[in-house]
Amino acid sequence: MKNCMCFILFYCLSLTVQSQDILGQWKTVDDETGAHKCIVDIYEENGKIFGKVIEILEPFDKNTLCQDCEGDKKDKPILGMVIINELEKQDEYYKNGTIFDAENGKEYKCRIKLIEETGKLQVRGYIAFLYLTQYWIRHQ
């Protein structure tokens, strides 16, 4: 009986720790309309954090190409595109990397933080002292 209780306690604690991690799938939310736009898979590679568009939620946008992009992203599908690059963990934030906005083809400095009270992901893009913040919702 004692072993069973220890197992249950360990299992519950591991779920709590896992749910407080930024890794996984997140629904992006349009800051103007509140519409869910796509699902981004946030993953770790070589100690840094990346995010890749794995699903586009609007049916008419599924085959959209990045027409406003420059360089190697020009006219490439947004589906499958890596939009968060090389964030590093610093205290409660992930920062010192970039986020790419496929709607305007621009890249911004990025900072991400998990808001533990709500379970939402605060995603902030910067140009100098100006910034825009979105709150993404965990997908799974």
Mean of pLDDT values over 69-92: 94
Confidence of residue 2 (pLDDT cuts 50, 70, 90): low
CATH of 24-138, one of 3.90.1150.10, 4.10.910.10, 2.40.128.520, 3.30.750.24: 2.40.128.520
pTM, two decimal places: 0.82
pLDDT at 12 over 90: no
Q: How far apart are CA 117 and CA 126, in angstroms?
A: 24
